[in-house]
Structures are given as C-alpha cells and as structure tokens.
Amino acid sequence: MSATPHPHPEDGPIAKTPRRSKRRIATEEKLIQAVGALLREGGVDALGVNAVDREAGVDKVLIYRYFDGLEGLLTRYSESVDFWPSIDEILGPDREVLADPDPQRVAGRIMANYARAIRSRPVTVQLLAWECNERNALTIAVEDVRERWATQLNEEMLRAGLPLTPQFGVLAALFTSAIHYLAIRSRSIQRFGGVDVGSDAGWDAMIETMERAFGAFYPPDTPSSPS
C-alpha cells in the first residue's frame, strides 16, 4: 500500500532501459506458436482468446498486455511464418524454370510448382479458406504478402523476356484461383467434377491440362512436347 510511483523528473537520455525481455520473449513465442498450432489442428473458429491461452498454457491477459489483443497477436504471427512460397520455390534458385525456351512449358512448370507449394502448406490453405468468409488481421496480412509476391513474380518473368500477353495473365489468374479453391476443398471432399483432388495423380492431371491450355495462347511454332 502507499506505493507512490516515482518517475524521476529528470532522467537524461530517453529510453534508457527497455526494461523488458527474458521470460517475456519466451512467453510471446509460446503465444505465437499456439496460434499456429490452433490454425493447424483446430481450424478457424477455434481461434479465440481463450483457446489461444489454453493452448499456450499462459494467461490470456498477457495477450492484451503484449500484443494489445488478438488482432495484434495475429499480426505478429503473420510476420513470423512463411505463409507464402518464396520466388525461389516457384522459379528455382537460379530461375532455371525461366530458362526453358518454350513459354508453354514455363507456364506449366510455374503452375505445378505453385500448386505443390500451396498444397504443402496446410496453414496457408487454412488461411485461404478463412479469407473466403472473414476479414481480419491475418487474412489482410496474407493478402498483402500475396500481392507483393505476385508483383515480384511478374517482374521476374518480364525480365526473363517471357512473352506475356494480357490473356496469359487472365488464364494464370484463373488457374491460380482453381488451385486455391481445389486446395481448400480437397480437405473435405475427394473428387470435384470428376477430378481426384485428394491424390497427386489428380493434381498431375490438372497440371498437364493447364500446360496444354496455355498452348492456346502461343503460336504453335514449338510443337507440343511429349508428356
């Protein structure tokens, strides 16, 4: 009682001692990891303040003290995880995919790599699904990242001298959409429109079809390669 606070009226330098850290960092990490865990197992509606602290084993009040609420925690989480594949993962470390002279094959490979990258990230798929119904710190973050990512990818392709027609872009957007949708749906259904979305074979067939479809937009001076 009678604990009169006592900010000295005269401390020279600003922000002298940050007065934080040690255990706190560990606790913050626990919270962030808990978000990932819930996102992985539970799903989307399981992610609440109470659920997160339960998972992390810490008190929920810390979520408010450290992150100023769930939104802040989600933002922090979004910065700490690689939702999105790197450009390297799509084009190869040395952009070897772009080295192929056949633009149709290039497009096919990009789609194949993209589909594989998405499918191998359950949390990303979860987020893509969440995006369909809600809009919060996490979905906004993933939107941001994706936009910058797409721009960067586009630049790389332009730099490589790939003949990018507007229709090429539209078709790529359509196939990207399809990949997102089928990755989402494949978690709860096995087939969609006769295609086996639960097996690699089904996805291989889709990729093959995509590649061939790209052929409709390039003059056939390069004969269709054998599959």
Partner DNA sequence: CAAAAAAGTCACCATGCGGTGACTTTTTCC
Partner DNA sequence: GGAAAAAGTCACCGCATGGTGACTTTTTTG
Interface positions with DNA (CB under 7 A): 3-7, 9, 16-17, 19-24, 26-27, 48-51, 58-62, 64-65, 69-70
Name which of 58 and 206 has its Cβ closer to DNA.
Answer: 58
CB-based burial label for 49 (10 Å; 0-12, 13-18, 19+): middle
Name which of 56 and 210 has its Cβ closer to a copy of itself.
Answer: 210
Dist. CA 181–CA 42, nearest whole Å? 20
For residue 178, the partner it binds in a copy of itself, DNA, none, with Cβ less than 5 to 8 A by kind, is a copy of itself
What's the closest the beta carbon of residue 32 comes to DNA, in angstroms? 13
Report the Cα 144 to chain-centroid distance in Å: 10
Separation of first and last alpha carbons in the chain: 80
Specify whether the CB–CB gap between 146 and 201 falls below 8 A.
Answer: no
Per-residue x/- marks for a copy of itself, 82-121, CB under 8 A? ----------------------------------------
- Tokens 């802040």 locate to 72
Per-residue x/- marks for a copy of itself, 167-206, CB under 8 A? x-xxxxxxxxxx-xxx-xx--xx--xxxx---------xx
Name which of 80 and 165 has its Cβ closer to a copy of itself.
Answer: 165
DSSP string, 23-48: HHHHHHHHHHHHHHHHHHTT-STT-S
What's the closest the beta carbon of residue 54 comes to a copy of itself, in angstroms? 21
The verdict on 215 binding a copy of itself (CB under 8 A) reads: yes
For residue 49, the partner it binds in DNA, a copy of itself, none, with Cβ less than 5 to 8 A by kind, is DNA
CB-based burial label for 50 (10 Å; 0-12, 13-18, 19+): exposed
For residue 65, the partner it binds in a copy of itself, DNA, none, with Cβ less than 5 to 8 A by kind, is DNA
Specify whether the CB–CB gap between 118 and 124 falls below 8 A.
Answer: yes
